[in-house]
Amino acid sequence: AVPQGLLRLARRSGQLNLAGRGLTHVPEHVWRINLDTPEEAQQNLSFGAADRWWEQTDLTRLILASNKLQSISEDVQLLPALTMLDVHDNQLTSLPSALGQLENLQKLDVSHNKLRSLPEELLQLPRLRSLLVQHNELSQLPEGLGQLLSLEELDVSNNQLTAIPTSFALLVNLVRLNLAFNQLKELPADLSAMKSLRQLDCTKNYLETVPPKLATMASLEQLYLRKNKLRSLPEFPSCKLLKELHAGENQIEILNAENLKQLSSLCVLELRDNKIKAVPEEITVLHKLERLDLANNDISRLPYTLGNLPQLKFLALEGNPLRTIRRDLLQKGTQELLKYLRSKIQDDAPGPNEEPPVTAMTLPSQSKVNIHAITTLKLLEYSDKQAAEIPEAVFDAVGANPVATVNFSKNQLREIPPRLVELKDSVCDVSLAFNKISSISSELCLLHKLTHLDLRNNVLTALPEEMEALKRLHTINLAFNRFKVFPSVLYHLPALETILLSNNQVGSIDPVQLKGMEKLGTLDLQNNDLLQVPPELGNCENLRSLLLEGNPFRTPRAAVLAKGTAALLEYLRSRIP
């Protein structure tokens, strides 16, 4: 039976915990705790103020977990003030319809029982926020489950469900939905109406696809699709907040570059135990990626630029037929692996390839100049050709067409192509990355509309002062060059928002000049030769991302750097004498 002392306490606190007492049924006086006059009151009318039964509190929380209950009495309705009822880990095969009377109930935990169905009356609980029914024997859910409009958490995992009621779409306040370990072959597209959903777990079902409409779930942060039958990674154009995507143990063969580009907030990408053959270069746009698990796939080579992902702390590649990476290197851990990949970027130049002869069957993208790209995309591209200079025909093809973007990356250029100046009235984005350029000519400084300039992986040691004319330039990438000093002309470009200068040999920076750059939000100086960080850098409060890892300075310590930019700037300000 239930000790009187426990009941007396429950009358004062409104909480009664009878977990793990081996109960096969709930004693009737538990249900009647707020109705019956306590026994002491009948025996002794002179008891102290502390026990005045008429001042008792209604029971609001009742825990009956881990007992041997096979049923719950309809008398549960005698506790109308209950906000929480926990009967998990019993032997219940059904629930009483009287549960529908508990209109104050906010949390109901009936998990780890033997329930075959849920009573329709359950749908009458207007305040129910958390419904936990995992680990039962449910083959279907009540069609009207969507009536529980206050629901924020619903766990129906580890049952035998083959379908989801369409009324689920009405659960617009749902934050966490767990459908794992069931027998679902598809998800209803209507789930996309759940605008508050942050966590969706569909692990271990029979899903072959994910409805494209799910991509509009704007609040989604964590998506678990492990152990299904997916053949490709779903598209998520609107899921701008998606931080974790777990899709291991499927049958995914191809990683679509376009899909990856949409996942800009992703911190965790887990794709182990699939059939992926190649990793696209575009994976390097996932700047926030901290964990990448590609173990046990069919990947034979990796893009070396993977080494440039600034936040990556964990990279799993074991169980792949990698040709370019020795097995002992894989066992040395993520940081060694990333260092190796970075060291190979410079050497990653494919051999010279002969231009195929242009025939009537040549596709536009195969010919020397892609005219279609010039006219429709305003793109002039001659990249990955290992060319020592850009052929005249490439510039001749432009004609009177305005070109906005120029891509001459991955060649063997030793200087800026002089005819680039012909595009000065329209071009705003120029990539000359992965070449052998050692100095910047005056032609480049005449491109007055330039906003993006990519010069990474060249052999530059300085920038000319004439670049001061590029008043619209807001992003410049100078990573993997040979700068020993911070190019002073950058301090005089008022529109600059992003400076990427990692993997050079820069020894110092001028915090006063940097503070004058009011638009500067990102400054990447990782892997340089900074022996000290001037405390005045803390005054550059516009910086949203300041990356200093991999420099030889002693302070600030790594622990401070790991706390992020805001904390780092605050630390530096505290050190200003």
pLDDT in tens, 297-312: 999 988 988 999 999 9
CA distances from 231 to 215, 227, 246, 297, 404 (A): 17, 12, 14, 13, 37
Res 85 pLDDT > 70: yes
Residue 329 pLDDT class (50, 70, 90 cuts): confident
Average pLDDT over residues 317-321: 91
Res 296 pLDDT > 90: yes
Threshold 0.75, pTM exceeds: no
Average pLDDT across the chain, whole number: 89
Residue 406 pLDDT class (50, 70, 90 cuts): very high
Res 347 pLDDT > 70: no
Average pLDDT over residues 256-283: 90
Res 349 pLDDT > 50: no
Res 38 pLDDT > 80: no
CA distances from 250 to 215, 229, 271, 272 (A): 19, 5, 8, 9
CA distances from 384 to 193, 239, 308, 391 (A): 44, 33, 20, 14
Residue 349 structure tokens: 């130049």
Residue 353 pLDDT class (50, 70, 90 cuts): very low
For 511-531, what is each residue's pLDDT tens digit? Answer: 999 999 989 999 999 999 999
Q: What is the dihedral of CA 136, 142, 146, 151, to 10 degrees?
A: -30
Res 458 pLDDT > 90: yes
pLDDT: which is higher, 474 or 345 = 474
* pLDDT at residue 284 in the model: 87
Res 467 pLDDT > 70: yes
For strands 130-132 and 153-155, give the pairing: parallel
Residue 359 pLDDT class (50, 70, 90 cuts): very low
Residues 491 and 503: their CA atoms lie apart, in Å, by: 20
* pLDDT at residue 42 in the model: 54
Instruction: Indicate the DSSP class of residue 351.
Output: P
Q: Which of 49-58, 66-75, 227-236, 329-338 has the highest mean pLDDT?
A: 66-75
CATH superfamily membership of 371-574: Ribonuclease Inhibitor (3.80.10.10)
Res 352 pLDDT > 70: no
Res 287 pLDDT > 60: yes
Percentage of the chain with pLDDT > 90?
67
For 428-440, what is each residue's pLDDT tens digit? Answer: 999 999 999 999 9
Residue 53 pLDDT class (50, 70, 90 cuts): low
User: How buried is 399 (Cβ within 10 angstroms: 0-12 exposed, 13-18 middle, 19+ buried)?
Assistant: exposed
Res 49 pLDDT > 70: no
Where do the domains of the chain lie?
A: 1-42+53-137, 371-574
* pLDDT at residue 378 in the model: 85
* pLDDT at residue 51 in the model: 53
Residues 394 and 178: their CA atoms lie apart, in Å, by: 55
* pLDDT at residue 37 in the model: 65
Residue 355 pLDDT class (50, 70, 90 cuts): very low
Residues 449 and 432: their CA atoms lie apart, in Å, by: 17
Q: How many CB atoms lie within 10 A of CB 81?
A: 15
Residues 112 and 60: their CA atoms lie apart, in Å, by: 23
Contacts of residue 161, defined as CB under 8 A and 6 or more positions apart, other chains included, come to 138, 139, 140, 141, 179, 182, 183, 184
Contacts of residue 3, defined as CB under 8 A and 6 or more positions apart, other chains included, come to none
* pLDDT at residue 52 in the model: 57
Which has the minimum average pLDDT: 237-241, 242-246, 493-497, 499-503? 237-241
Fold match between 1-42+53-137 and 371-574? yes
pLDDT: which is higher, 368 or 280 = 280
CATH class of 1-42+53-137: alpha beta
Res 161 pLDDT > 90: yes
* pLDDT at residue 393 in the model: 86
Average pLDDT over residues 179-188: 95
* pLDDT at residue 366 in the model: 40
